[in-house]
Structure 1
């Protein structure tokens, strides 16, 4: 995978050439993880924190891309809070700060699943978001970037969402959602 693919994922999700997510730019975030991986191979122990931090920044960027794409499709204003939490976590200086920011506002993630009606594209994006949060290797993130690009290429972003589209579809069971 490449830094360019990561940048394209963000550009597609935000529908702009310059998705203002990272001050240093998306390619640099990806390249910083690659550098940290190389350095970790040759260093003894003390680069583990840096490697974890770089991995988390890439993962946060991917999560932001998937949530942004979801928001473009779902018109779910409450889910905007999730995007804000993830963006705030990007400002952290280490993985402990990232965890602290997310844990403090974890309840906002419930909004992604609240009153969401079955829609294959939205479900696919949320599934990629979940897989991103579960990913533990760069290779897994690379695969998810590719899957995200493929899914987003299939979406008709110009199609207008209508509440009438969802009228015949039952909402997801809230007890099921609470067990996620």
Structure 2
């Protein structure tokens, strides 16, 4: 079975200690794909597709916020990441919205208190694009861009580990 860009992103972003979270996020892309393939024109089927899409957006958002947290180590991005994880436990779109709206002030704090550098700005823009994405194709593009930045940051970290001559 081919590893999706989403799974590759998760592998790059999450550490061994975060295996439980990664295992929770890993099937989200496949679950959306399955819902799209089996969708019927009825309302219940369309609600399932929408719910699976929302869960995938949460997964992408969690990965981006983890990157942001790793990059800057700030508490605000970790709090929003944790909020996204909490929302992932909801069993409906209304449940997701309720969780997020309950602590919506965290988003303002994220944007207000974040020490921004070039990479952090880009990750934050991808996070915002994830929240605004309305199609799987848009989300796929965001995943690809997130994968590029995650690989670049991983590459920079590897360079830093090299002893100087």
Identify whether the pair has TM-score above 0.5, normalized to the shorter chain. Answer: yes
Question: What's the offset of the Cα at 1:112?
Answer: 1.8
Structure 1: unaligned runs, 5 residues or longer:
160-180
- 1:10/1:19 contact within 8 Å kept: no
Trace 1:99-110 onto structure 2 (pairs within 5 A).
99-110=97-108
2:72/2:115 contact within 8 Å kept: no
- By how many angstroms is 1:20 displaced? 2.5
Q: Over residues 48-93 of structure 1, what are the superposed CA-to-partner deviations in whole Å (9 max), with x where a residue is unaligned?
A: 1111110011000000000000000112123321111100001000
Residues in 1 aligned to 2:51 and 2:22: alpha-carbon distance in whole angstroms:
14
In structure 2, relative to structure 1, the CA distance for the partners of 1:126 and 1:89 (3 Å cut) is same
For residue 5 of structure 2, what is the aligned residue in structure 1?
A: 5
The residue matched to 2:113 in structure 1 has which SS?
Answer: coil
Supply the distance in 2 between the matched residues of 1:3 and 1:67 (Cα, whole angstroms): 22
The match for 2:87 among 77, 84, 89 is 89
Q: Gaps spanning 5+ residues in structure 2: where?
A: 161-165
1:143 aligned to 136, 141, 144, which one? 141
One of 38, 62, 65 as aligned partner of 1:64: 62
CA distance in 1, matches of 2:3, 2:128: 21
TM-score under structure 2 normalisation? 0.85
Structure 1 runs of 4+ aligned residues shifted over 3 Å read: 15-19, 22-25
**Structure 1 residues 19, 73: closer, same or farther in 2, change over 3 A?**
same
Give yes or no for the alignment of 1:36 onto 2:50. no
Contact 2:58 2:84 in 1 (8 A): yes
CA distance in 2, matches of 1:147, 1:20: 24
Q: Which residue of 1 aligns with 2:163?
A: none
Partner of residue 157, structure 2: 157
Quote the RMSD (CA, aligned, Å).
2.2
Shift of 1:29: 1.5
Which one has a larger percent helix, Structure 1 or Structure 2? 2
Q: How many residues align?
A: 157
Equivalent residue number for residue 14 of structure 1: 14
